[in-house]
Amino acid sequence: MKIDELKKKAALEAIKYIKDNSIVGIGTGSTVSYFIKALSFIKEKISGVISSSSTSSEQIKKYGLKILDLNKVCSPIIYVDGADEINNKMEMIKGGGAALTKEKIIAAAATQFICIIDESKQVKILGNFPLPIEIIPMSYSYIKNQIIKLGGEPKLRKNLITDNGNIILDVYKFKILDPIFIEEKINSFPGVVTVGLFSKIKPDIVIIGTQSGVKTLFNKIK
């Protein structure tokens, strides 16, 4: 089965967790695209959605789902999003689609976080996928040097301005042995808006599309 099929299967499985009158937080990416389409078939059942990016908003609007403002919502939110890498502690790298900041905000505000992935996203050690960092443009040289001191190879993501008007540094060749330490360290550099490491805000449920069927993991620690 092709990877896209596995993504689709994980996305369809997530629909089973959407209860009546839910507010659904929506991440960004190709796996989430399948979820948005599937959600549109039950749009009458939910109260509305909160979008993590302009890319997702475009698709959400196309399917006629109602977009809500996170600041005006007080009911529980179920957040559904993909990941670029996930380890066995459910720590993740996210931000391949440059939407990491809003994704982290919605994940933090949500009552339940469901991560939908294909099996290629499962890794032992995070860092093979370049770690995205959203930064304020003025801090570029400073943060680049700090990342080099930490042992990574930062590269500016070309031709990209985030939805928040910032830039993205992708850190290559960065073996992340202690995600909590690295997340805190990078977040402490002035100019960093968000690092795409999710070591504290983790999914409650991970749905994985695999060649041998859909697998669901529950995070018992959280």
Q: Which of 13, 85, 91, 103 is catalytic?
A: 103
Give the interface segment with ligand 5RP, choosing from 80-88, 158-166, 175-183, 197-205 (CB under 6 A).
80-88
The contact mask relative to ligand 5RP for 24-63 (x = CB under 6 A, - = no) is ---xxxxxx-------------------------------
95 binds ligand 5RP (CB under 6 A): yes
Q: Can residue 97 be called a binding residue for ligand 5RP (CB under 6 A)?
A: yes
Contact between 82 and ligand 5RP per CB under 6 A: yes
Choice between 10 and 143, CB closer to ligand 5RP: 10
Residue 203 half-sphere exposure, CB side, CA atoms within 13 Å? 30
Q: Does 114 bind ligand 5RP (CB under 6 A)?
A: no
What are 32's two structure tokens? 């989430």
Nearer to ligand 5RP, 141 or 211 (CB): 211
**Both tokens of residue 179?**
């995600």
Q: How far is CA 62 from CA 99, 110, 175, in A?
A: 19, 24, 40
209 binds ligand 5RP (CB under 6 A): no
Asked if 107 interacts with ligand 5RP (CB under 6 A), we say: no
Asked whether 157 and 98 are in contact (CB, 8 A), the reply is: yes
- Exposed / middle / buried, residue 221 (Cβ in 10 Å: 0-12, 13-18, 19+): exposed
Cα(202)–Cα(114) distance, integer angstroms: 9
The verdict on whether 103 is a catalytic residue reads yes
Q: Could you tell me which residues come within 8 angstroms of residue 205 by beta carbon, excluding any fewer than 6 positions away?
A: 17, 112, 113, 114, 115, 216, 217, 218, 219
Cite the active site residues: 103
Query: Which residues are at the interface with ligand 5RP (CB under 6 A)?
Result: 27-32, 81-84, 94-100, 103
